[in-house]
Amino acid sequence: MPVPMIQRHLFGPGPSNPYPEATAALTHPLLGHLDPAFLEVMDSACDGLRAVWGTGNRRTLPLSATGSAGMEAAFVNTVEEGDVVVVAVNGLFGERMCDVAARCGAEVVRVDFPYGQPIDPQRVAEAHPAPKIIAAVHAETSTGVRSDIAALGELKGDALLLVDAVTSIGGIELRADDWGVDIGYAGTQKCLGVAPGLAPFTISDAAFERRVERPRSWYLDLGMLGGYAGEAQGRARTYHHTAPTAMIASLDAGLRRISDEGLDNVWARHQAAGDALQEGLEEMGLELFAAEGHRLPELTTVKVPEGVDSAAVRGYLLEHFSLEIGAGVKEHASTVWRIGLMGPNANPGSVALVLGALQEALRKVPQPV
């Protein structure tokens, strides 16, 4: 028996519900990865990605795997055995960066900040006199915190600035070139409003020149992938691997939707939804987790009230409203909820729904004595 279809409100930390245009494009007639008609779609998607990254990098493309593979591609192409990598850690994805960089042979210099707080660019920049790479997370999915990448870019010196934009791209201001981002990776399943499966990636020419000549990963080798995505458009494509053509068509459709609405408008819509949600939660007497002034509009973290069974509330929301929100991570697993309003979900109706549903759940769910 096939599993019955269930319509969910995906208000967790991602995936979000996709834009309808992105879903529809998944069923466009499939194209071969070398078909001239597909290469047009790929070029269009790469153009759309440049817009949401805020970059003119010709090497801007969707990697054929999820956002975490984007992180791996970033490090495996730039880290040689023994290279110093400074990593700013203020959440789970900063921690993951340390693991991934170490596996690539990096000497990792880790600079920790409390979960819920942004990074301090000054402390990060002073952590080592001459790192090859400084790495940081723009929008920490695990805590709902935004860090100041522009400030880090001003302080980076000769280091390459490597940035995780998984939860920021397509949702909040992101200006890779203006901010001095050399290498960036993201995901499709959050504010871009596309199903999970691709990692939007960008690397500057200068960073590409300093890459590892023959990285340990064949699949993520940017030297080979450049030809595949047509680097400078119009140049001959080379076969590297079979591109996930359906997913790329979907990404292209999602990016066109964003472009049609206007990127500034999309950012404003995410900000308005996040502001309304955060106000509403505080009006309910709940306390937000992320530090004031550094809260992401697209992903809100809120403390579970004392004595409330966090998992039971999430279960109630799923069962009664088919509404998913996320737990916290690590030591905050049962004391924090994560509520995402991303992509098409960044709208007033979603705010009203999640506030109403949460209110009912807090009334109805029996609490442990």
Known binding-site residues equal 338
Q: Which of the ranges 71-79, 178-186, 283-291, 347-355 carries the binding residues for a second copy, by CB under 8 A?
A: 71-79
Question: Beta-carbon neighbour count of residue 339 at 10 Å?
Answer: 26
Regarding 28 and contact with a second copy (CB under 8 A), the answer is yes
Give the interface size with a second copy as a residue count (CB under 8 A). 66
**From the CB of 329, what's the least distance to a second copy, in Å?**
9
Residues near 122 by Cβ (< 8 Å), separated by ≥ 6?
155
∠ at Cα 304 (300, 307), nearest 5°? 175
Among 12, 118, 280, 328, binds a second copy (CB under 8 A): 12
Among 109, 246, 263, 312, binds a second copy (CB under 8 A): 246
Q: Which of the ranges 96-104, 284-292, 296-304, 356-364 carries the binding residues for a second copy, by CB under 8 A?
A: 96-104
Regarding 259 and contact with a second copy (CB under 8 A), the answer is no
Taking the C-alpha atoms of residue 57 and residue 245, their distance in angstroms, rounded to an integer, is 22
Q: What is the DSSP letter of 126?
A: T
Among 46, 49, 52, 69, binds a second copy (CB under 8 A): 69
Among 48, 49, 60, 72, binds a second copy (CB under 8 A): 72
Q: What is the DSSP letter of 330?
A: G
Taking the C-alpha atoms of residue 284 and residue 296, their distance in angstroms, rounded to an integer, is 19
Q: Secondary structure of 265-303 in the HEC alphabet?
A: HHHHHHHHHHHHHHHHHHHCCCCECCCCCCECCCEEEEE
Regarding 253 and contact with a second copy (CB under 8 A), the answer is yes
In this complex, which beta carbon is closest to a second copy, that of residue 24 or of residue 284? 24
Among 144, 197, 200, 274, binds a second copy (CB under 8 A): 197
**From the CB of 294, what's the least distance to a second copy, in Å?**
24
Over the window 158 to 177, marking each residue x when it contacts a second copy by CB under 8 A and - when it does not, the resulting string is --------------------
Task: Please choose, from the candidates 128, 122, 171, 173, the residue with its C-alpha nearest in 3D space to the C-alpha of residue 269.
Answer: 171
Sign, CA dihedral 185-188-190-193, equals positive
Q: What is the DSSP string of 140-163?
A: ETTTTEE--HHHHHHH-TTSEEEE
Q: What is the dihedral of CA 74, 76, 82, 88, to 10 degrees?
A: 30
Q: Which of the ranges 34-42, 48-56, 112-120, 156-164 carries the binding residues for a second copy, by CB under 8 A?
A: 34-42
Task: Please choose, from the candidates 201, 196, 168, 205, the residue with its C-alpha nearest in 3D space to the C-alpha of residue 184.
Answer: 201
Q: Which of the ranges 53-61, 249-257, 265-273, 286-294 carries the binding residues for a second copy, by CB under 8 A?
A: 249-257
CA-based radius of gyration for the chain = 20
Q: Which residues bind a second copy (CB under 8 A)?
A: 2-3, 5-8, 10, 12, 14-15, 17-18, 23-24, 26-35, 37, 40-41, 44, 64-69, 71-72, 76, 96, 99-100, 103-104, 187, 189, 195-197, 214-219, 240-247, 252-253, 256, 318, 324
